[in-house]
Amino acid sequence: MNLYLAATYIRDARYGRNGQFETDDNSVRLYNLYNHWLPKGVAYFFILLLLALAIFEKPAVPGLEIEYYVTMPMEVICLIVIGSRLFHLRRFSPGKTFYSDKKNLVVMATMIVVVIDMISYIALVNSGQAMYAYRWSRPLRALLLVNITEGRQIRRAFRNIRRTLPDILNVLVLFFLSIALFALMALKIFERRPELRLYTDDSPYFKHYGDIYFQLYVLVTTANSPDIMMPAFDSNKWFSLFFIVYLVVCLYLFMSIILAVIYKNYRKHLKNEIKKSVFIKRFKLLRAFDELKEQVEGKSVVTEKTWNAVMKEVLPNRTHVYYSLLWMVLDKDVNGYIDKKMFLQVADLLNVEVSEVRNQKHLIEKYYPHIYNSSISIAVRQVVMHKFFRYFFDLAIVVNAFFIGFNLDEAEWFFLSVFTCEIILKLYTYGFREFCRRFWNIFDFIVISAAFIATVIEAALEELQYSRETLDVLLVLRILRLLKLVGSIDRFKIIIGTLTNIAPSMFTYGGVLFVFYYVFAIIGMEVWGTMLSGDPNVSFCNNSNLNGSEFARDHYCNNNFSDILTAFVLLFELMVVNQWHDILWYFFSAWARLYFVAFHLLVVIVVLNIFLAFILEAFMLESSLSTGKFSNAVEEKIKEMGMWVSKKPLQEQLPVEHVQIEAPQSVLVDNIEVHPSPTPPPAENETAEAADVVPEMKERRPRADTGLRFRIARRGTRKTEILLQRMFESELLHEEGQEMPTTENEIEEMEPEEIRPTPLTLDNVT
């Protein structure tokens, strides 16, 4: 019975980690160190530093350029850190798994390539061949971000994209064939009409097949929407029919189908991923069970003694009372042991938030009870709890918005003090702890204090005639205060609530976009970095070819690849799609077209549509969960045993109006808005563990009835991923007979259940 090892497995199950390690003590210890937040944080910091080097390397952000003999040592340090983390991983990984894991190989290969690139760059520069010296390995840096173990969520998103691609490919091929057909028609129709061979600005219209094809592709992005039609339309109105039919087919129909195909596949892969994390959880728990099991009455079970011992390893910061509480839930028939089936629910149980239930006394009440319970104080609290108190401040926000809009700055201090008063009064009435439990209170608090600080600084700076840039930032903070308005309308809270639920996953897609942006930005900088100058004093962007071009006319000179930040802005503009053919007018070579079509296909058509599919699924999930089908076995049990903080359904998430002022605290406990459960997503989440360890646990001995209660998050405030697990868990339970993958790698590489259509090959196309 190896408690330390079992505790590691349980922790893995709880956080959904899928690490593989040798089971000797040393390896397990290394594994736990590997998962500690500090080495992880260090690794992340150095990867980000490596990526950030692009800001300082040539072509650098103006004013921040650092010579290569400074950046390269930094790069080497970053690589050493990443390499040592990889070495750390190697130390505890079982023999083959390290080298059979593609992501480790990718990281190692990338590091080798980067080193070769650095050496050849130094060699070229120092041998006087600086004009041939490119840092061509820089786009590969993004690979490190994706493939390092920490990039799990991003890697999952990439896997999703990779698996969706073959299915979209069919539609894309059909789409490109359609464009080809329409382009052929356009060629045939317009080549007979010499009067149609010119745009209105005398540039050639529909030059040749390739040009028509590209123009029609741009038309699908709607970027050249009426312009491309106008010459034909001016000559004969019926020509518009061609463009309308084209847009209906290629824009409205095909783009919808692409979204549909992506959505369909997204759901398929989502289910697979969730299944995978459930498998990981069970797999780890089974291993832990095998470590802890004893033979009682001929059955393999875990006894209470073992339980308490292993819990001390898993959660050293919790008290014995907490362990007993968990045991009470698990050992329902009070026979002193739990079997395998119950043990498999340990991870879910650990993820249920536990809090101390007790008549929490307000600090003021504690130290100055006669003041807090005086009639004036009660009256004040009564006023604060009244709904008109809220209405008054909602109105104040609206009035404030008008004052800001009409530049009536004199009232600024007045509003600020009004809102500060609101917060102080709420703090006084509800107490700090209750106040903080409500998301919108914290939101208000942050917004108002930011505005307060901003206004103070602004007042100070106005005296000093400080730079306007700083003032702008402060001003924005001040206006953000109006966001309070959103928080004061219930039905917006629901939308925002859903959004905050799915926010972590949204950041994942932000990460995916960042990877694509980084690669494309670096490539763009290397190829077209020096072509243009954004200097407004230079005419035609310092490029005489642009004389008379639309690019120069529209003053697009700053849309260039001169440094990585500008390149990111340019790529964002391309992602928004409008005017991209104008933005890129100045380098319409075949390669440039390829570059942008690739960017458009990958980012706009694939990634943004997957993001859209994600949002769609998240909203659909919300609605199917509101039917309450997916409640968890553990939660059911806790409710059965009456060991949970009962929460009457809150019609509104507002200060509880029906609370009698006579005993506000004791009743409040039953009516408080529930703090979203910090059940962490299966990925590593350090903060979650920290949040679980409620500090007062250590200080105060709970009372006889343990004083501990489980806090079950309301539907809608749960993490989406947890909900998804629930959704498919019932399905998984039915498939008990089915064999489970036995090694971690098998789980990681699990394919979606449905048989995918055979990929498009030359053989089955023809």
Residues within window 193-252 making contact with its own copies, judged by CB under 8 A: 193, 200, 209, 222-227, 229-231, 233-234, 236-238, 240, 244, 247, 251-252
Q: Quick one: 20 or 558, whose CB is closer to its own copies?
A: 558
For residue 486, give the 3-state DSSP assignment. helix
Handedness of CA 265, 269, 271, 272 (dihedral sign): positive
**Smallest distance, Å, CB 646 to its own copies?**
24
Q: Quick one: 494 or 663, whose CB is closer to its own copies?
A: 494
| Site for its own copies, residues 611 to 650, rule: CB under 8 A | 611-612, 615-616, 618-620, 623
> Phi and psi at residue 549, in whole multiples of 5°?
-80, 160
Q: Quick one: 130 or 248, whose CB is closer to its own copies?
A: 248
**96, 341, 370, 491: which one binds its own copies (CB under 8 A):** 491
Which residues lie closer than 8 Å to 609 by C-beta, 6 or more apart? 258, 259, 262, 263
CB atoms within 10 A of CB 117: 17
* By the rule CB under 8 A, 757 interacts with its own copies: yes
Q: CA nearest 54: which of 151, 172, 138?
A: 138
**Smallest distance, Å, CB 735 to its own copies?**
15
* By the rule CB under 8 A, 188 interacts with its own copies: yes
Query: Where are the alpha helices (H) located in 293-408, listed in sequence order?
Result: 304-314, 320-330, 340-343, 346-350, 363-367, 369-372, 375-385, 387-405
| Site for its own copies, residues 56 to 95, rule: CB under 8 A | none
Q: Quick one: 616 or 683, whose CB is closer to its own copies?
A: 616
Considering only 16-24, 180-188, 339-347, 357-365, which stretch makes contact with its own copies by CB under 8 A? 180-188
Considering only 183-191, 348-356, 423-431, 700-708, which stretch makes contact with its own copies by CB under 8 A? 183-191
Separation between Cα atoms, residue 391 and residue 655, nearest integer Å? 12
Q: Quick one: 86 or 196, whose CB is closer to its own copies?
A: 196
For residue 695, give the 3-state DSSP assignment. coil
Size of the site for its own copies (CB under 8 A): 102
* By the rule CB under 8 A, 579 interacts with its own copies: yes
**Smallest distance, Å, CB 171 to its own copies?**
6
For residue 248, give the 3-state DSSP assignment. helix
CA angle 340, 283, 300 (to 5 degrees): 25
Amino acid letter at 240? S
| Length of the chain as a residue count | 766
Which residues lie closer than 8 Å to 89 by C-beta, 6 or more apart? 34, 98, 104, 149
**Smallest distance, Å, CB 459 to its own copies?**
16
* By the rule CB under 8 A, 257 interacts with its own copies: yes
Binding string, 448-477, against its own copies, x = CB under 8 A?
A: --------------------xx-xx--xx-
Strand-pair category, 708-711 with 353-356: antiparallel
DSSP code of residue 198: B
**Smallest distance, Å, CB 715 to its own copies?**
15
Q: Quick one: 4 or 391, whose CB is closer to its own copies?
A: 391
**What tokens were used for 290?**
């095998």
**Smallest distance, Å, CB 442 to its own copies?**
20
The answer to whether the CB of 425 falls within 8 A of the CB of 455 is no
Q: Quick one: 162 or 387, whose CB is closer to its own copies?
A: 387
> Phi and psi at residue 301, in whole multiples of 5°?
-140, 170
Q: Exposure pattern of 251-289 as b/e (b: 16+ CB <10 Å)?
A: eeebbeebbebbbebbebbbbbbbbbbbbbbebbbbbbb
Cα dihedral value 568, 573, 574, 579, nearest 10: -150
**What tokens were used for 548?**
């008379």
* By the rule CB under 8 A, 174 interacts with its own copies: yes
**What tokens were used for 511?**
């990460």
The answer to whether the CB of 385 falls within 8 A of the CB of 425 is no
**Smallest distance, Å, CB 576 to its own copies?**
5
* By the rule CB under 8 A, 181 interacts with its own copies: yes
Cα dihedral value 615, 263, 677, 324, nearest 10: 180
**177, 363, 424, 733: which one binds its own copies (CB under 8 A):** 177
**Smallest distance, Å, CB 741 to its own copies?**
23
Binding string, 403-432, against its own copies, x = CB under 8 A?
A: -xx---------------------------
* By the rule CB under 8 A, 531 interacts with its own copies: no
**Smallest distance, Å, CB 64 to its own copies?**
12
Considering only 32-40, 129-137, 187-195, 376-384, which stretch makes contact with its own copies by CB under 8 A? 187-195
| Site for its own copies, residues 497 to 526, rule: CB under 8 A | 499
Q: If residue 302 lies in a helix (H) or strand (E), which one and from where to where? A: strand 299-303
Considering only 301-309, 412-420, 444-452, 479-487, which stretch makes contact with its own copies by CB under 8 A? 479-487
| Site for its own copies, residues 258 to 297, rule: CB under 8 A | 259-261, 263-264, 267-268
* By the rule CB under 8 A, 700 interacts with its own copies: no
**What tokens were used for 56?**
């300082």
